[in-house]
Amino acid sequence: MTDVKLALDEVHALVVDTLMRCGCDEENAAAVARVITAAERDGCHSHGLMRLAGYAATLKSGKVNGKARPRVEQIAPAVVRVDGDGGFAPLALETGRQPLVDCARKNGIAALALVDIYHFAALWTEIEPLAEAGLCALACTSYKPAVIPAGGKKALYGTNPIAFGWPRKSGNPVVFDQATSVVARGEVMLAAREGHQMAEGVGVDADGNPTTDPNAILEGSLLAFGGHKGSSLAMMVELLAGGLIGESFSFEAARRDNNDGGPPQGGEFILAMDPGMFGDAEGWLDHSELLFEQIAAQEGTRLPGDRRHANRERNTRDGISLSQAVYDKILEL
């Protein structure tokens, strides 16, 4: 099977055209397209064009408001809230980003609560702009039950990713984005699509039996990384992105979802901090570089995000390759 070669602007245009044909207006479609294009650019294929069918499904089913207009509210000196108006998360995030930055620079620390959104993307695309603005930031969001709590038998938590970003004196910020499950569900979906097996210890089938078959894991459940440690972090995400901001827990989101193949309605929590306002205004940047230098000095190590940025440079120049079968499926949307 031959591959289709696409420049990044062609990826963006393909996503915008697809979503607008499915019911999005241009503003919402372009915001989603920026996220999907960034994922493909950085080699994060599990959150790139593979997700487009899910976005389209939610528009066709009427679950998502493709013409959403997010609303920003300052509900406390250091708390910004964005009501996503039942739309996809990217436009709501873009709407709330500058108010969050301004609030953090004024107070030293600020939180952004996003509610009534449909989140279906990687978190690093949301954290990186904050780190580039000179803030350190943390973000988390939940999903539908896909992960068994430690010692349990039934999925209760979402994969519940956590992302963190730290500014650099020069060059790219350090940003990591990781699920609290052993792997992100998108990686399992990608393996199922491409016919690959998963490693042992990733998940179980519908009967609770360990399996390396990605299709069986998708029908069953994922496991939290590190046993009870990952399970505790998954619970923390449920509380921050659900209980704290008045949004749904994963099991509540699942109860009202129509299972059209796209994301459920839920929320997201972001915390941003201005390191210059924590008592070391002159030295924090140089001091943190010492840690990064020590990490990089060890053979075989790399800083989080290094591989993404290498992919970014190459794919920005050369474009991306997409299988003809996947491309044809996108055109069918």
Residue from 125, 65, 71 nearest 95 by CA? 71
Give me 190's structure tokens.
């990608």
Backbone angles phi, psi at 61, to 5 degrees: -80, -15
Active site residue 47: yes
Active site residue 46: yes
Instruction: Spell out the residues 6+ positions from residue 11 whose beta carbon is closer than 8 angstroms to its own.
Output: 33, 36, 37, 40, 41, 49, 320
| Cα–Cα distance, 104 to 192 (Å, whole number) | 42
Which is catalytic among the residues 94, 126, 128, 187? Answer: 187
Which is catalytic among the residues 45, 47, 126, 247? Answer: 47
Strands 221-223 vs 203-204: parallel, antiparallel or unpaired: antiparallel
C-alpha dihedral, 43 to 44 to 50 to 51, nearest 10°: -140
Widest Cα–Cα separation across the chain: 59
Q: What is the DSSP letter of 157?
A: B
Which is catalytic among the residues 12, 40, 45, 46? Answer: 46
Any idea which residues carry the catalytic annotation?
Answer: 46-47, 187
